Amino acid sequence: MFSDGRLCFGGDYNPEQWPASVWAEDVALMRQAGVNLVTVGVFAWSRLEPAPGRYTFDWLDEVLDLLHAGGIRVALATPTASPPPWFSAAHPGALPVTADGVRLHHGSRDTYCAAAPAYRTAALAIAGALADRYAHHPALALWRVHNEYGTTCHCEHTARAFRRWLADRHGDLAALNDAWVTSFWSQHYSDWTQISTPRATQYLANPGQLLDFRRFWSDTLLAAYREQRDLLHAANPAIPVTTNYVLGDWVPVDHARWAGEVDLVAVDHYPSAVDIGAEEQTALVGDLARGWARHGSRHRGDATSAWLLMESAPHQIHTTGRAHTKEPGRMTRHSLAHVARGSQGAMFFQWRAPVGGAERFHSALVPHAGPDSRVFREATALGAALHRLAEVDGQVEAGVALVVDAASGWALRHPGMPSDRLDHQQETAAAHRALWHAGYGCDIVLPGDPLTGYRLLVLPALYLTDDDTAQWVGEYVTGGGHLLATYLSGVADEHARVRLGGYPGALRDLLGVRVEEFHPLAADDQVRLSDGGTGRIWAETLRPTGAQVITAYAGGVLDGQPAITRHRAGSGTAWYVSTRPDDATYRRLLDEAARSAGLTPVCPDAPAGVEAVRRRAAAHGGWLFLFNHTDTPQRVPARGTDLLTATAVDEAVQLPPGGVAVLREH
């Protein structure tokens, strides 16, 4: 396994940016801070292969030996996210092309087309050379392939590969024409060569083409990962291989589908909010990563759902146009919130802040000020805290399953939808936020995942619902489960074709409602609800066909008409929410749905602003993580031993502002 028995602590280490004289100090400081894993070589291609086929490994030999002598293990990266200038000069046809047909130039990173044969060959060559030299190095704990797969391309290599992928998916042109509804706007294809990637076009693009392109490109990047992985596995099957997932609504990767192909799900997380939103996002990403890991382990057929926070920022939150300095204690809270949700440690971008380069002011464990700094002291304290938590194990307590589906997210963002504010990820985040504030543990699941043990299933705008998914949801509910589905769930099939007969299509009968018309709201608009709350983004004309009305619209054209309904289906219950409730209303609603499903919050007595996450392992008992996200002291009734302070807690934990406790419960 990649860990040394303790939780991992460390980050991206770029010795190639420093003279050799700094390396010994790096290792000494790493030891002082408790660092036990570093990623090396991520962007070192031009230093490792200064000319085609000429390798300079002497410096990397020295670095790995130094780290090994210092007891620090290495996640060795393949540097394929940043080809050297000689590669771009020799292979201009492997530079990426935008949807507008503009070929991008060298000068940043990630300037390659992942479908270009020359790029794939060069990437495999450098990965193979690294494998030959280091696959049995004693410092090697993990291979980290590439960095944050997420680029796209519209060149001719890509177009050819797209056609091959489409032929494989659809079989023949008749099936493709049917799936893409090419009878609309005279788009019927009579030859495969007529099909291109969805390049810039005159007006709205074909939704089926857009959706298939996203799926194809995720598969193409996955193929690029897999060929490196297979080579690294072959060199030494004992060393696990992964790649670090980048998150964001622009990312053309279906991370869930990749999860079975990595030995360890690894995610990079950089919250974009400065306020409590950063903690909400941290909780969501931790749950997402765990969900992918569980899904992946089922796919691989092993029993590990371990995952790793591979990168995070020690002391900054990057928002649009500004870097916000994290308040004291926040780095620790964010890191331990990931550990609470199953991360095997906390890794950072980056170890030491560089003197130049595009990211010279990005966050680092050793900042420009050097080790005599608040950041380094906090990092050292975090290292010690992480090593005190080595015993934590087991499953996160969660009675709610929240469904996430990348393809629904892609399809909802297509142009030509009735609103440009439809967003599966935002709907997922809103539902998760409501559950988080209400104190319920939540697992992220994918359509088709086993639902045993969950009392409540939440579908946040699950727009693409194929027949299998509809059946999966139906069996869960009629078998006694509780469901809460939000607007636009069930509306389209897997090709993004609208299901006829009234929305929400595939789920209409289960939910006991029929929707004839949408009422998308303007950006600054909201609708009042009869329970005193408000709705945003969306509203509908909804007719119950068996469901009971729980909340109605109040005022405006929808005055008195149903907004939220509940339906008894088989031995289960199905709620339908036809708008996006404001946060407080959503929280009350999910609390009610969870309670009526028989669930209780993880720590029912926790005061507002205190987050609680429980891990349980059959052999060891449980661990309760408590996070005080407020700026006042908080008292939380609980019993056990606080592993961070090694003190017994008989009645209650006293959490200082921003404080964390991890109790071994008895």
Q: Which of 219, 254, 268, 423 binds ligand GLA (CB under 6 A)?
A: 268
Instruction: Work out whether 348 is an interface residue with ligand GLA (CB under 6 A).
Output: no
DSSP state of 474: H
- Residues near 479 by Cβ (< 8 Å), separated by ≥ 6? 570, 571, 572
Q: Which of 362, 588, 635, 639 binds ligand GLA (CB under 6 A)?
A: 362
For ligand GLA, give the closer residue by CB, 216 or 270.
Answer: 270
Kindly determine how many residues on this chain lie close enough to bind ligand GLA according to the rule CB under 6 A: 9
For ligand GLA, what does the binding mask look like between residues 89 and 128, x meaning CB under 6 A?
A: ----------------------------------------
Closest approach of ligand GLA to the CB of residue 379, in Å = 16
For ligand GLA, give the closer residue by CB, 362 or 388.
Answer: 362
From 49, 148, 280, 378, active-site residue: 148
3-state SS of 177-210?
A: HHHCCCCHHHCCCCCHHHCCCCCCCCCCCCHHHH
| Ramachandran sector of residue 471 (left: φ over 0; alpha: ψ -120 to 50; beta: rest) | alpha
Instruction: Work out whether 270 is an interface residue with ligand GLA (CB under 6 A).
Output: yes
For ligand GLA, give the closer residue by CB, 147 or 332.
Answer: 147
Q: Which of 112, 245, 348, 349 binds ligand GLA (CB under 6 A)?
A: 349
Q: Are strands 322-325 and 316-319 parallel, antiparallel or unpaired?
A: antiparallel
Which residue in this structure is represented by tokens 């059946």? Answer: 471
Closest approach of ligand GLA to the CB of residue 390, in Å = 26
Instruction: Work out whether 225 is an interface residue with ligand GLA (CB under 6 A).
Output: no
For ligand GLA, give the closer residue by CB, 81 or 547.
Answer: 81
Q: Which of 16, 26, 148, 427 binds ligand GLA (CB under 6 A)?
A: 148
Quick check: 21 and 46 in contact, CB under 8 A? Answer: no
Which amino acid, residue 348? Answer: F
Q: What is the DSSP string of 603-662?
A: STTPPTTEEEEEEEETTTEEEEEEEE-SSS-EEEE--EEETTTTEEESSEEEEPTT-EEE
For ligand GLA, give the closer residue by CB, 309 or 488.
Answer: 309
For ligand GLA, give the closer residue by CB, 314 or 441.
Answer: 314
From 16, 311, 378, 427, active-site residue: 311
Which residue in this structure is represented by tokens 């009629």? Answer: 478
Q: For this structure, is 16 an active site residue?
A: no
Q: What is the DSSP string of 391-415?
A: T--SEEP--EEEE--HHHHHHHTST
Q: Which of 82, 147, 209, 282 binds ligand GLA (CB under 6 A)?
A: 147
Query: Whose CA is closest to 485, among 589, 578, 587?
Result: 578
For ligand GLA, what does the binding mask look like between residues 289 and 328, x meaning CB under 6 A?
A: ----------------------x-x---------------
Q: For this structure, is 611 an active site residue?
A: no
Q: Which of 359, 391, 517, 631 binds ligand GLA (CB under 6 A)?
A: 359
For ligand GLA, give the closer residue by CB, 37 or 643.
Answer: 37
The rounded distance, in Å, linking the Cα atoms of 233 and 70 is 26
Q: What is the DSSP string of 337-354?
A: HHHHTTEEEEEES-SB--
- Residues near 618 by Cβ (< 8 Å), separated by ≥ 6? 394
Q: What is the DSSP string of 487-512?
A: TTTT-B-TTSPBPSSSBTGGGHHHHT
Interface residues toward ligand GLA, by CB under 6 A: 147-148, 268, 270, 311, 313, 349, 359, 362
The residues carrying an active-site annotation are: 148, 311
